Amino acid sequence: MKRITIGAGTGPNIVAGMMRIAEMSDDAVRKLVGSARDAGIDFFDHADIYGGALHASERRFAEAMALTPSEREQITLQTKAGIVPGAGYDFSYEHLVSSVEGSLQALGTDYIDILLLHRPDALMEPNEVARAFDDLYDSGKVRAFGVSNHTPRQIEYLSRWIRRPIVANQLQLSLLHAPIIAQAVAMNTRYDQAVDRDGGGILEYCRDENITVQAWSPMQGPNGVFLGSDAHPELNAVIDRLAAKYDVPPIAIATGWITRHPANIQVVMGTTSPQRIADAALGSEIPLTRAEWYELFTAAGHVVP
Protein backbone atom coordinates (compact mmCIF):
# COMPACT_ATOMS: atom_id res chain seq x y z
CA MET A 1 0.00 0.00 0.00
CA LYS A 2 1.33 3.43 -0.97
CA ARG A 3 2.43 5.69 1.89
CA ILE A 4 0.14 8.69 2.25
CA THR A 5 2.12 11.89 1.69
CA ILE A 6 0.79 14.51 4.06
CA GLY A 7 2.50 17.62 5.38
CA ALA A 8 5.99 18.75 4.43
CA GLY A 9 7.78 16.54 1.98
CA THR A 10 10.41 16.83 -0.72
CA GLY A 11 8.22 18.91 -3.03
CA PRO A 12 6.31 22.18 -2.58
CA ASN A 13 3.75 22.18 0.22
CA ILE A 14 0.98 22.91 -2.28
CA VAL A 15 -2.22 20.97 -2.98
CA ALA A 16 -3.90 21.47 -6.36
CA GLY A 17 -7.60 22.07 -5.74
CA MET A 18 -9.88 20.69 -8.47
CA MET A 19 -13.11 22.45 -7.47
CA ARG A 20 -13.41 24.59 -10.64
CA ILE A 21 -12.55 22.17 -13.44
CA ALA A 22 -16.01 20.81 -14.27
CA GLU A 23 -16.45 23.03 -17.36
CA MET A 24 -12.85 22.78 -18.57
CA SER A 25 -11.83 20.85 -21.69
CA ASP A 26 -9.68 17.73 -21.58
CA ASP A 27 -6.69 19.70 -22.85
CA ALA A 28 -7.17 22.45 -20.25
CA VAL A 29 -7.43 19.97 -17.39
CA ARG A 30 -4.35 18.09 -18.60
CA LYS A 31 -2.42 21.35 -18.93
CA LEU A 32 -3.38 22.40 -15.39
CA VAL A 33 -2.47 19.03 -13.87
CA GLY A 34 0.69 18.84 -15.97
CA SER A 35 1.80 22.25 -14.76
CA ALA A 36 1.22 21.14 -11.18
CA ARG A 37 3.19 17.95 -11.72
CA ASP A 38 6.03 19.87 -13.39
CA ALA A 39 6.15 22.09 -10.28
CA GLY A 40 6.50 19.01 -8.07
CA ILE A 41 2.87 18.90 -6.91
CA ASP A 42 1.42 15.39 -6.68
CA PHE A 43 -1.54 16.08 -4.36
CA PHE A 44 -5.02 16.79 -5.82
CA ASP A 45 -8.01 17.87 -3.73
CA HIS A 46 -11.63 17.09 -4.66
CA ALA A 47 -15.07 16.97 -3.04
CA ASP A 48 -18.26 15.22 -4.01
CA ILE A 49 -20.08 18.56 -4.33
CA TYR A 50 -17.53 20.35 -6.54
CA GLY A 51 -18.62 21.20 -10.05
CA GLY A 52 -22.30 22.15 -9.80
CA ALA A 53 -23.53 18.55 -9.92
CA LEU A 54 -22.68 15.64 -7.67
CA HIS A 55 -19.18 14.31 -8.45
CA ALA A 56 -18.91 16.55 -11.53
CA SER A 57 -15.35 17.79 -10.96
CA GLU A 58 -14.15 14.34 -9.93
CA ARG A 59 -15.59 12.87 -13.13
CA ARG A 60 -14.08 15.64 -15.28
CA PHE A 61 -10.65 14.97 -13.73
CA ALA A 62 -10.84 11.25 -14.46
CA GLU A 63 -12.14 11.67 -18.02
CA ALA A 64 -9.46 14.18 -18.93
CA MET A 65 -6.53 12.45 -17.26
CA ALA A 66 -7.36 8.77 -18.01
CA LEU A 67 -4.65 7.73 -15.56
CA THR A 68 -2.93 4.40 -15.92
CA PRO A 69 -2.53 2.34 -12.72
CA SER A 70 1.11 3.38 -12.44
CA GLU A 71 0.22 7.06 -12.95
CA ARG A 72 -2.49 6.76 -10.30
CA GLU A 73 0.07 5.42 -7.81
CA GLN A 74 2.24 8.48 -8.31
CA ILE A 75 -0.36 10.96 -7.04
CA THR A 76 -2.43 11.53 -3.92
CA LEU A 77 -6.19 11.94 -4.41
CA GLN A 78 -8.15 13.52 -1.60
CA THR A 79 -11.90 14.04 -1.60
CA LYS A 80 -14.52 15.24 0.85
CA ALA A 81 -18.01 14.15 1.85
CA GLY A 82 -20.75 15.28 4.20
CA ILE A 83 -22.24 18.43 2.68
CA VAL A 84 -25.70 18.01 1.19
CA PRO A 85 -26.46 21.13 -0.91
CA GLY A 86 -29.65 22.76 0.31
CA ALA A 87 -30.08 20.25 3.14
CA GLY A 88 -27.20 20.81 5.55
CA TYR A 89 -24.80 18.03 6.44
CA ASP A 90 -24.93 14.24 6.66
CA PHE A 91 -22.29 12.10 8.39
CA SER A 92 -24.51 9.02 8.51
CA TYR A 93 -23.00 5.67 7.62
CA GLU A 94 -25.15 5.37 4.52
CA HIS A 95 -24.31 8.82 3.20
CA LEU A 96 -20.55 8.58 3.76
CA VAL A 97 -20.26 5.15 2.18
CA SER A 98 -22.52 6.13 -0.73
CA SER A 99 -20.52 9.32 -1.30
CA VAL A 100 -17.23 7.42 -1.39
CA GLU A 101 -18.67 4.87 -3.80
CA GLY A 102 -19.73 7.74 -6.03
CA SER A 103 -16.30 9.36 -5.81
CA LEU A 104 -14.54 6.09 -6.63
CA GLN A 105 -16.69 5.64 -9.71
CA ALA A 106 -16.33 9.26 -10.81
CA LEU A 107 -12.56 9.31 -10.29
CA GLY A 108 -12.13 5.94 -11.98
CA THR A 109 -10.02 4.60 -9.15
CA ASP A 110 -10.14 1.70 -6.70
CA TYR A 111 -9.17 3.80 -3.70
CA ILE A 112 -9.19 7.28 -2.22
CA ASP A 113 -5.95 8.28 -0.49
CA ILE A 114 -7.58 10.66 2.00
CA LEU A 115 -11.26 11.24 2.80
CA LEU A 116 -12.20 14.42 4.69
CA LEU A 117 -15.42 15.08 6.58
CA HIS A 118 -16.54 18.30 4.89
CA ARG A 119 -17.48 20.70 7.72
CA PRO A 120 -18.98 19.49 11.03
CA ASP A 121 -22.38 17.79 11.11
CA ALA A 122 -24.31 18.91 14.21
CA LEU A 123 -26.39 15.70 14.00
CA MET A 124 -23.38 13.41 13.78
CA GLU A 125 -23.62 10.00 15.41
CA PRO A 126 -19.95 9.15 16.01
CA ASN A 127 -20.54 5.41 15.98
CA GLU A 128 -21.84 5.70 12.41
CA VAL A 129 -18.77 7.65 11.32
CA ALA A 130 -16.57 5.03 13.02
CA ARG A 131 -18.39 2.20 11.25
CA ALA A 132 -18.11 3.95 7.90
CA PHE A 133 -14.39 4.60 8.40
CA ASP A 134 -13.77 0.99 9.43
CA ASP A 135 -15.63 -0.47 6.46
CA LEU A 136 -14.06 1.92 3.97
CA TYR A 137 -10.57 1.25 5.33
CA ASP A 138 -10.93 -2.50 5.70
CA SER A 139 -12.23 -2.79 2.14
CA GLY A 140 -9.26 -0.79 0.82
CA LYS A 141 -11.47 1.98 -0.53
CA VAL A 142 -10.03 4.75 1.69
CA ARG A 143 -6.50 4.77 3.05
CA ALA A 144 -6.58 7.73 5.47
CA PHE A 145 -9.09 10.11 7.02
CA GLY A 146 -9.31 13.76 7.97
CA VAL A 147 -11.72 16.60 8.64
CA SER A 148 -12.42 20.12 7.47
CA ASN A 149 -13.21 23.17 9.60
CA HIS A 150 -13.26 21.17 12.86
CA THR A 151 -12.36 22.50 16.31
CA PRO A 152 -10.00 20.70 18.72
CA ARG A 153 -12.94 19.53 20.81
CA GLN A 154 -14.80 18.17 17.79
CA ILE A 155 -11.72 16.24 16.69
CA GLU A 156 -11.13 14.91 20.20
CA TYR A 157 -14.72 13.72 20.46
CA LEU A 158 -14.62 12.02 17.08
CA SER A 159 -11.25 10.43 17.88
CA ARG A 160 -12.75 8.64 20.88
CA TRP A 161 -14.84 6.58 18.47
CA ILE A 162 -12.71 6.02 15.40
CA ARG A 163 -9.73 3.68 15.14
CA ARG A 164 -7.94 5.54 12.37
CA PRO A 165 -5.94 8.71 13.07
CA ILE A 166 -7.12 12.06 11.77
CA VAL A 167 -4.33 13.11 9.41
CA ALA A 168 -5.58 16.49 8.13
CA ASN A 169 -7.83 19.43 9.00
CA GLN A 170 -8.69 21.76 6.13
CA LEU A 171 -9.11 25.31 7.45
CA GLN A 172 -9.51 28.71 5.84
CA LEU A 173 -6.24 30.62 6.05
CA SER A 174 -4.70 33.52 4.16
CA LEU A 175 -2.82 36.70 4.95
CA LEU A 176 -6.15 38.51 5.34
CA HIS A 177 -8.04 35.64 7.01
CA ALA A 178 -5.72 34.35 9.72
CA PRO A 179 -7.63 33.95 13.01
CA ILE A 180 -6.01 30.54 13.66
CA ILE A 181 -2.69 32.41 13.88
CA ALA A 182 -3.64 35.96 14.83
CA GLN A 183 -5.69 35.13 17.93
CA ALA A 184 -2.74 33.62 19.75
CA VAL A 185 -0.49 36.57 18.84
CA ALA A 186 -2.92 38.99 20.51
CA MET A 187 -3.75 36.71 23.45
CA ASN A 188 -4.51 38.51 26.75
CA THR A 189 -5.10 41.89 25.10
CA ARG A 190 -8.22 43.98 24.49
CA TYR A 191 -7.88 43.80 20.73
CA ASP A 192 -10.76 42.15 18.84
CA GLN A 193 -8.10 39.93 17.29
CA ALA A 194 -7.73 38.20 20.68
CA VAL A 195 -11.26 36.76 20.51
CA ASP A 196 -11.11 32.99 20.06
CA ARG A 197 -13.30 31.93 17.13
CA ASP A 198 -11.79 28.51 16.52
CA GLY A 199 -12.46 26.47 19.62
CA GLY A 200 -9.20 27.05 21.42
CA GLY A 201 -5.83 26.90 19.68
CA ILE A 202 -6.72 24.77 16.66
CA LEU A 203 -3.34 25.32 15.01
CA GLU A 204 -1.41 24.36 18.12
CA TYR A 205 -3.69 21.38 18.67
CA CYS A 206 -3.12 20.09 15.14
CA ARG A 207 0.63 20.47 15.51
CA ASP A 208 0.57 18.58 18.79
CA GLU A 209 -1.52 15.76 17.32
CA ASN A 210 0.42 15.51 14.02
CA ILE A 211 -2.61 16.67 12.04
CA THR A 212 -1.65 18.54 8.89
CA VAL A 213 -3.45 21.85 8.43
CA GLN A 214 -4.50 22.47 4.83
CA ALA A 215 -5.15 26.14 4.06
CA TRP A 216 -8.13 26.77 1.78
CA SER A 217 -8.86 30.13 0.09
CA PRO A 218 -5.22 31.23 0.56
CA MET A 219 -5.64 34.31 -1.67
CA GLN A 220 -9.01 35.45 -0.34
CA GLY A 221 -9.96 38.21 2.06
CA PRO A 222 -13.37 39.54 3.15
CA ASN A 223 -13.80 41.30 -0.21
CA GLY A 224 -12.34 38.74 -2.56
CA VAL A 225 -8.81 38.19 -3.87
CA PHE A 226 -6.37 40.59 -2.23
CA LEU A 227 -3.43 40.28 -4.64
CA GLY A 228 -3.27 43.43 -6.72
CA SER A 229 -6.46 44.77 -5.14
CA ASP A 230 -6.79 48.53 -4.66
CA ALA A 231 -8.54 47.76 -1.37
CA HIS A 232 -5.24 46.59 0.17
CA PRO A 233 -2.50 48.96 -1.01
CA GLU A 234 -0.23 48.59 2.04
CA LEU A 235 -0.26 44.80 1.93
CA ASN A 236 0.34 44.68 -1.82
CA ALA A 237 3.19 47.16 -1.54
CA VAL A 238 4.97 44.83 0.90
CA ILE A 239 4.18 41.76 -1.22
CA ASP A 240 5.48 43.44 -4.39
CA ARG A 241 8.69 44.59 -2.66
CA LEU A 242 9.41 41.11 -1.32
CA ALA A 243 8.52 39.55 -4.67
CA ALA A 244 11.14 41.76 -6.30
CA LYS A 245 13.68 40.91 -3.59
CA TYR A 246 13.23 37.13 -4.01
CA ASP A 247 12.65 37.35 -7.78
CA VAL A 248 9.31 35.54 -7.65
CA PRO A 249 5.72 36.44 -8.63
CA PRO A 250 3.63 38.11 -5.89
CA ILE A 251 1.48 34.98 -5.46
CA ALA A 252 4.56 33.12 -4.25
CA ILE A 253 4.97 35.60 -1.39
CA ALA A 254 1.34 35.01 -0.35
CA THR A 255 1.83 31.24 -0.32
CA GLY A 256 5.30 31.59 1.17
CA TRP A 257 3.86 33.45 4.15
CA ILE A 258 1.73 30.39 4.92
CA THR A 259 4.37 27.74 4.26
CA ARG A 260 6.96 29.69 6.31
CA HIS A 261 4.97 28.79 9.44
CA PRO A 262 6.65 25.90 11.30
CA ALA A 263 3.39 23.91 11.32
CA ASN A 264 4.22 22.73 7.76
CA ILE A 265 0.86 23.93 6.48
CA GLN A 266 -0.27 22.76 3.04
CA VAL A 267 -1.72 25.43 0.75
CA VAL A 268 -4.78 24.36 -1.29
CA MET A 269 -4.72 26.30 -4.56
CA GLY A 270 -8.06 26.28 -6.39
CA THR A 271 -6.82 28.16 -9.45
CA THR A 272 -7.53 26.94 -12.99
CA SER A 273 -4.48 28.78 -14.32
CA PRO A 274 -1.44 26.58 -15.01
CA GLN A 275 0.85 29.59 -14.58
CA ARG A 276 -0.63 30.54 -11.21
CA ILE A 277 -0.27 27.02 -9.83
CA ALA A 278 3.38 26.97 -10.95
CA ASP A 279 3.99 30.43 -9.50
CA ALA A 280 2.29 29.55 -6.21
CA ALA A 281 4.52 26.49 -5.83
CA LEU A 282 7.57 28.76 -5.68
CA GLY A 283 6.40 30.06 -2.32
CA SER A 284 7.53 26.92 -0.51
CA GLU A 285 11.12 27.77 -1.38
CA ILE A 286 11.14 31.36 -0.12
CA PRO A 287 13.12 31.81 3.14
CA LEU A 288 11.11 34.70 4.55
CA THR A 289 12.82 36.18 7.58
CA ARG A 290 10.92 36.62 10.83
CA ALA A 291 10.87 40.38 10.25
CA GLU A 292 9.43 39.92 6.75
CA TRP A 293 6.82 37.44 7.97
CA TYR A 294 5.61 39.84 10.66
CA GLU A 295 5.74 42.79 8.28
CA LEU A 296 3.32 40.96 5.99
CA PHE A 297 1.20 40.05 9.01
CA THR A 298 0.85 43.67 10.16
CA ALA A 299 0.41 45.00 6.60
CA ALA A 300 -2.59 42.67 6.34
CA GLY A 301 -4.12 44.51 9.33
CA HIS A 302 -3.25 42.14 12.15
CA VAL A 303 -1.90 43.47 15.44
CA VAL A 304 1.41 42.58 17.03
CA PRO A 305 1.07 43.88 20.62
User: What residues act catalytically?
Assistant: 50
Gap between the Cα atoms of 136 and 130, Å rounded: 10
Gap between the Cα atoms of 75 and 43, Å rounded: 6
Which residues neighbour 138 within 8 Å (Cβ) at sequence distance 6 or greater?
none
Gap between the Cα atoms of 253 and 273, Å rounded: 17
The answer to whether the beta carbons of residues 139 and 115 sit under 8 Å apart is no
User: Smallest Cα–Cα separation from 15: which of 38, 41, 34, 35?
Assistant: 41
The answer to whether the beta carbons of residues 147 and 114 sit under 8 Å apart is no
Cβ-based neighbour number of residue 231 at 10 Å:
12
- 3-class DSSP state for residue 44? strand
